[in-house]
Amino acid sequence: MSKKTSASSQTRSGAKPRSKVGVKSAKRPDPKAIGLAVKPNAAAQGDPMQAIGAQRQLTTQVKTARKRSNSSARWLNRQLNDPFVAEAKRQGYRSRAAFKLVGLDDRFGFLKPGARVLDLGCAPGGWLQVAARRTGADQADNENPKPSDARVLGIDLQEVEPVPGAVIWQGDMRDEDTQAWVIEQAGGKLDAVISDMAAPSTGHAQTDHLRVMTLIDIAFDVAEQLLAPGGTFVAKVLQGGAQKETLDRLKTNFKKVQTVKPDASRSDSREQFIVAQGFKG
């Protein structure tokens, strides 16, 4: 079953009626309405990454309550003391992972104004928010049309709350009808295909690595069909010994391939991101 959602519409023009999803998602509260937005300090008024750096100096210690396990206390302590979590709330991003994409784009500059971008495995929507803001896709209204041909599309197996400036399709990225929808919505081939997908952890490092590499291969299969010449492919990878074959494949199809770890990736995490630019088509 597939379903498209957007900030303004949740039906596809000319498409056959689709069955409704049985569970209705609760409406996401406005961050400002629940006090998540705060007055920016001096650092935040300039470079937001400076504000994050300033927040690293402040820590909160969480005590283990009678009804809270040690693992829960550690998780809460990490969340409370994570400057990227605080900055994500301040800027209205749905997750701290948004700053991974911010860092990658600051370095490689693939989210250009007017770009056509596809986010694979887009839930909960933080990467869509970044892409829509940076390409200008979120600026559309009756008086201010989108700059150029900016399009931000998202695909996920689960339902995702609408993101201003983005159009979301609920379905499998490998399906032909899903890929046909992408081409229709983008008005042609894409400038970037990005993915922060990760398989659920098994606790076994090598197994987790192999599962993530499988996701990358699937994502590139999709990107290979949809990217325009010169396009960019970004995907998450876990450090391990089975990525050489995937990197060799990407180096054959792109002019430049790099593996980097954004500042927003946790220091104890094995995650990195492959950035492949200059798709040869």
**Residue 24 resides in a domain:** no
pLDDT of residue 14: 42
**Residue 17 resides in a domain:** no
Report how far residue 61's alpha carbon sits from residue 66's, in angstroms, rounded to the nearest whole number: 16
pLDDT of residue 67: 59
CATH code at 238? 3.40.50.150
Q: Is the pLDDT of residue 54 over 80?
A: no
15-19, 166-170, 239-243 — which one is most confidently predicted on average? Answer: 166-170
**Residue 84 resides in a domain:** no
For 156-176, how does the pLDDT look when each residue is reduced to its tens digit (9 = 90+)? Answer: 999 999 999 999 999 998 888
Select from 149, 185, 180, 146 the least CA-distant residue to 168.
185
Note if 100 is an active site residue. Answer: no
Mean pLDDT for the chain?
76
Which residues touch 14 (CB under 8 Å, ≥6 apart)? none
Q: For residues 216 and 274, is the Cβ–Cβ distance under 8 A?
A: yes
Range of lowest pLDDT (70-84, 166-180, 235-249): 70-84
What H or E segment, with its residue span, contains residue 105?
Answer: helix 98-108
pLDDT of residue 26: 40
pLDDT of residue 241: 57
Would you say the C-alpha torsion 258, 110, 28, 50 has a positive or negative sign?
A: positive
Overall number of domains in the chain: 1
For 176-204, how does the pLDDT look when each residue is reduced to its tens digit (9 = 90+)? Answer: 889 889 989 988 899 999 999 877 777 78
**Residue 55 resides in a domain:** no
**Residue 80 resides in a domain:** no
* Top-confidence residue, 148 or 233: 233
Report how far residue 168's alpha carbon sits from residue 132's, in angstroms, rounded to the nearest whole number: 12
Select from 251, 252, 241, 242 the least CA-distant residue to 275.
251
- Residue range 10-29: mean pLDDT, rounded: 38
Q: For residues 105 and 117, is the Cβ–Cβ distance under 8 A?
A: no
Quick one: DSSP state of residue 111?
A: -
* Top-confidence residue, 123 or 23: 123
- Residue range 228-255: mean pLDDT, rounded: 88
pLDDT of residue 280: 96
Q: In what order do the strands lie in the sheet with 254-260?
A: 3-6, 166-170, 151-156, 116-120, 190-195, 227-238, 271-279, 254-260
Q: Is the pLDDT of residue 239 over 80?
A: no
pLDDT band at 35 (very low <50, low <70, confident <90, very high): very low
pLDDT of residue 255: 97
Range of lowest pLDDT (65-69, 73-77, 137-141, 272-276): 73-77
The beta strand positions in 70-165, using DSSP E, are: 116-120, 151-156
Catalytic residue among 24, 39, 236, 244: 236
Calculate the CA 195 to chain-centre distance.
Answer: 6
Report how far residue 83's alpha carbon sits from residue 93's, in angstroms, rounded to the nearest whole number: 13
DSSP per-residue codes, 229-248:
EEEEEEEEEESSSS-HHHHH
For 265-278, how does the pLDDT look when each residue is reduced to its tens digit (9 = 90+)? Answer: 877 777 899 999 99
Q: Beta strands 116-120 and 3-6: pairing type?
A: unpaired
pLDDT of residue 220: 93
Taking the whole predicted model, whether its pTM rises above 0.85 is answered as no
**Residue 70 resides in a domain:** no
**Residue 111 resides in a domain:** yes
- Domain range for 248: 3-7+95-279
**Residue 44 resides in a domain:** no
Q: For residues 168 and 156, is the Cβ–Cβ distance under 8 A?
A: yes
Q: Which two tokens stand for residue 40?
A: 């920016």
Q: What percent of the chain has pLDDT over 70?
A: 67
> Is the backbone peptide bond immediately before 83 cis, with ω within 30 degrees of 0?
no
